[in-house]
Amino acid sequence: MLKILAIGDVCGPCGLETLRRKLNQVKAQTGADLVVVNDFVSRGYLIIKTAADLGCKTFVHISFERHLGITTIAQRQANSKQRCEELGVKYVEATAPDPTGDAGVTGAQAWVTENIKVYVDQYGKDTAFFSTNCSLQVPLIQQCAELGAVYSQQCCPSPYHGYPSAFNISTEGHEGDVPYMLEQIKAKVAEYGNTGRMSTWEVPVNMVMIEAGFNYAEKWIKGEITERCDEAALLKEIQAIAGDAASITKYADEASGEIANFFMILCPFYDF
């Protein structure tokens, strides 16, 4: 039996320390042969590079105390700060209400609706916004489109995260049709006159991990893949879905060193 663990989000309340414990537990209990997750390390740098490519001169990082206490988010934030300094982009921290607090999701979303214009008035339209929370993506996308600001990526990159709801795009009859969704988002961004100022990944990363993992396992069962943990074969399956520009790297840190079967996925950006 081949066992593949696809982790959809490492920015939840566990953080890296708990993630390490969970991975060790998973390995002990299930003997996972492959672990796959989105590349939260590299994204800290690439979110800023993409924002700069889209015309950003100021980058506003929107979060709250609970999220900033999570190691993975803090690491991505530190990488973003570093890249801002390297590219000469002004880095600004903004504190939104925690959606799990008294204000709830509605209050946190209202903060976005009310305050993004304040930042655009202060720093200009060449300001990029990024939020660490999923529930803030819809109003943030709406405000960036309406105000002509820059939006380089969601917290969890996917054409289906935030954009369809923000732009009222129906998927009826086009379920799972990624090229259709990309075309629809691009057309909506153009309607706002914000072409070339908004972006995401061109594939939904969670679906890539699931489909690539299934295809890998199927080929292993058939004997077409002979190693339980074959990095080259895994990359081939990922690129077959996400394109040749997709890449994987092994996760490593000072505490654990390099983990031989823990791969981070990075997929191509798509600018609207």
Per-residue pLDDT reduced to its tens digit, 216-259: 999 999 999 999 999 999 999 999 999 999 999 998 877 778 88
Instruction: Say what the pTM is.
Output: 0.86
Which pLDDT belongs to residue 73? 85
The span from the CA of 206 to the CA of 271, in Å, is: 20
For residues 11 and 74, the answer to whether their CB atoms sit within 8 Å is no
Q: Give percent of the chain with pLDDT exceeding 90.
A: 72
pLDDT digits (tens, 9 = 90+) for 166-177: 999 999 999 889
Which pLDDT belongs to residue 22? 55
For residues 198 and 151, the answer to whether their CB atoms sit within 8 Å is yes
The span from the CA of 209 to the CA of 184, in Å, is: 24
The span from the CA of 76 to the CA of 42, in Å, is: 8
pLDDT category at 40 given cuts 50, 70, 90 is confident
**Of 218, 228, 260, 265, whose CA–CA distance to 243 is shortest?**
265
Q: Is the pLDDT of residue 10 over 70?
A: no
Average of per-residue pLDDT values in the chain: 89
pLDDT category at 4 given cuts 50, 70, 90 is low
Which neighbouring-strand residues pair with 265?
38, 248
Q: Is the pLDDT of residue 29 over 50?
A: no
